[in-house]
Chains A and B, each alone.
Chain A
């Protein structure tokens, strides 16, 4: 088997620093102070900025000040709107998670602790820049003022659901918000964003594309195909990796984080890579604005790693206490994105605790009212809300004979189950 004079090989299998019952340990994470990472010109050659892929762009310091070259110097009004969108996303998540627990729908996924990633980016992009999100970027829709009732209709698969009850809850599609249909299959959206950007460039358009995927998803081949196309064609695209440390039960080490950063994937492909504090809405805004400017001026793609933390379970089907230390959330060194932006607004005298508390109440009411309105259209727990025949629509543009036959078959089954007129679902 082996030659006896050589040392035996060993298989390395990554192990996270802490498991349930153990003390959370983030000592391996090197947190640079806010403001120290330099900001190159957005047109600079990617070869001159490789260090950024190993650094950490941060704007908000621990006292709530905005510091350093990446400070986007946003007006208090914009800051307050960002804070509101983040808090609204959180209130929305909270209510929809509970709705699933109450049996009103089959599934839900929160973005708790990661709100800055979606909302900071949505504020920095143009509203018609095309987004190719994963399932955890509901914040983009909310930042783009998308109708909460429309989102909830989808979650409830009810008769108001524009997607006709076909998709798992939270797998939105909102073309009018430049928000691509979400796939359940990981990472497929990343090369698609590159393709959209290539098309925009080929047509001499001015719009750019952006995609988001989790750090775990960077392992898929699609991610690497996307980076290759992005660099070859200098596609005007912003590729975001949301490193929330976990992929269901697998820590980021199973996607390669023990050896390098996710931003550093950019280095090998010769594209710009930024590693940023994903719990700092101003850093997310600034990095996205920089990458968008780079793309819009034909200087090519940027890969942004958002360093953040998935504060709760993967989804309603998950219990993280089975695989990670319960202390992690409170020990996470980059804090909470909502609390940090709020502290900044208070520090500059543009916000206060009382206004924040009032806003939280108002947002909870807004979400509650939306949920009430959506529930009038039905909830999944109460059965099938779509006319049965819709099942066969949209498989193709025109329905072939075999689907017409199958549709007729289904209608005759329906007649058997509910023979009396008006009986059963619609």
Chain B
């Protein structure tokens, strides 16, 4: 995308643009899901696509997530490249059998006869007063399944490049979109005014086609004393906290949880000797546990302090106490104090 003209986009517009570019380039790309057709999705991510690409390539579906993913598997078996939307990640559970037992394993069980180039898009995460059924972060359920890739963008620029790469990938990808930052980055201070994307450099999105390879993290801030591993909304919160506290930290935006960019993680931790892992999802068995174990296994002799985790609490996402639940600047700050001690 070297010289392509770029425009400021929010994350929804970048995702919409990626879908449009993918559909333009490849007739097999097919978008389906609840309310995605005429209306263009409850978050407007598929707005205008049906009009441009027609009803047989962009269509509304019955309300059955199991059915949506099940037919996507069938379409992929035919040779299409389906991009189903699950309206909220909280509603992906009825589709689990089709994802876990089918899409994830078909390449393996058919010895390559039936690859599954499916990209399941779904908004996830909290911070919008959505209560327990519009706020969850279930990514660790999917990273635990062999055969699924899991991708989580944190900026409009990345969202477009990663989504195009996911759609072009020949394996099934769970593409979780942090809905809290659809319209602007978030520093974690819920009581401060919201910033629009336009002021952020990564809201400049080149037109046309470009990809960001899956499995490559981004070092979004460089420092010497601490490695912060984060993804999605929490990248922005982490950046703002380390700035506020004046910590000389590497901040790594993982972007892809599976496959994981272990090299970037390892080289950063070996440099800094300290590691903080942040996610919004619940703690126990969360992806942070995996990260923590990997760092401990691979960087043990470089570590100057135990790996710290900052996460959501192990409760359903509460409605009114949302901001007491959210792993915000105070929780992160306390963990930084701990991991930086002596």
Contact = CB atoms under 8 A, between A and B. Distances in A.
A21 B339 CA distance: 61
Nearest to A387: B321
A202 interface: no
B200 interface: no
B110 interface: no
B325 A409 contact: no
B38 A249 contact: yes
A414 to B, nearest CB: 7
Contact of B91 (A166, A185, A219, A322): A185
Interface in B301-342: 313-316, 318-321, 323-325, 330-331, 333-334
Contacts of B287: none
Interface string B103-115: 0000000000000
Contacts of B37: 13
Contact of A183 (B39, B133, B334): B133
Interface in B133-153: 133-134
A19 interface: yes
Given A185-B90, A413-B330, A250 B60 contact: yes
A75 to B, nearest CB: 40
Contact of B64 (A15, A221, A412, A414): A221
A391 B315 contact: yes
B316 A395 contact: yes
B93 A185 contact: yes
A19 B39 CA distance: 10
Interface in A320-338: 322-323
B56 interface: yes
B131 A220 contact: no
A406 B309 CA distance: 12
A386 B318 CA distance: 11
Nearest to B335: A409
Residue of A106, A107, A395 with most chain B CB atoms under a 10 A cut-off: A106
A220 B94 contact: yes
Contact of A167 (B132, B331, B333): B132
Nearest to B91: A185
Contact of B38 (A166, A323, A391): A323
B321 A165 contact: yes
Contact of A384 (B60, B61, B324): B324
A178 to B, nearest CB: 23
A406 B313 contact: yes
Contacts of B94: 220-222
Contacts of B321: 165-166, 384, 386, 388, 390-391
Interface in A130-173: 157, 161, 165-169, 171
A401 to B, nearest CB: 11
Contact of B324 (A11, A183, A388): A388
Contacts of B318: 165-166, 391
B308 to A, nearest CB: 12
B209 interface: no
Contacts of A14: 60
B67 A219 contact: yes
B324 A13 contact: no
A157 to B, nearest CB: 4
Interface in A8-46: 11, 13-15, 19
A160 to B, nearest CB: 12
Contact of A220 (B55, B63, B90): B63
Given A220-B94, A322-B39, A13 B64 contact: no
Contacts of A13: 37, 55-56, 59-60
B34 A157 contact: no
A403 B130 CA distance: 23
Contacts of B35: 248-250
Interface residues of A, number: 54
Given A247-B63, A249-B35, A410-B313, A168 B320 contact: no
Contact of A413 (B55, B132, B334): B334
A228 to B, nearest CB: 15
Interface in B18-67: 34-35, 37-39, 42, 55-56, 59-67
A11 B56 contact: yes
Residue of A107, A317, A391 with most chain B CB atoms under a 10 A cut-off: A391
B284 interface: yes
A11 B67 CA distance: 17
Contacts of B334: 409, 412-413, 416
Given A254-B61, A406-B283, A392 B315 contact: yes
Interface in A236-269: 247-250, 254-256
A288 interface: no
B89 to A, nearest CB: 12
Nearest to A19: B38
Given A167-B319, A217-B63, A184 B331 contact: no
Contacts of B315: 391-392, 395, 403
Residue of B62, B130, B284 with most chain A CB atoms under a 10 A cut-off: B62
A388 B93 CA distance: 29
Contacts of B55: 13, 15
A250 B32 CA distance: 13
Given A13-B56, A249-B38, 11 more contacts: A167-B131, A167-B132, A183-B133, A184-B132, A219-B64, A221-B67, A256-B62, A380-B129, A384-B324, A385-B320, A403-B315
16 contacts: A13-B55, A13-B60, A168-B131, A168-B133, A216-B62, A219-B62, A220-B65, A249-B35, A254-B60, A256-B62, A322-B39, A384-B324, A388-B324, A391-B315, A410-B324, A417-B330
Interface of A: 11, 13-15, 19, 106-107, 157, 161, 165-169, 171, 183-186, 216-217, 219-222, 247-250, 254-256, 317, 322-323, 380, 384-386, 388, 390-392, 395, 402-403, 406, 409-410, 412-414, 416-417
- The 5 A-B residue pairs with the shortest CB-CB distance, nearest first, are A184-B133, A165-B320, A168-B131, A219-B62, A249-B39
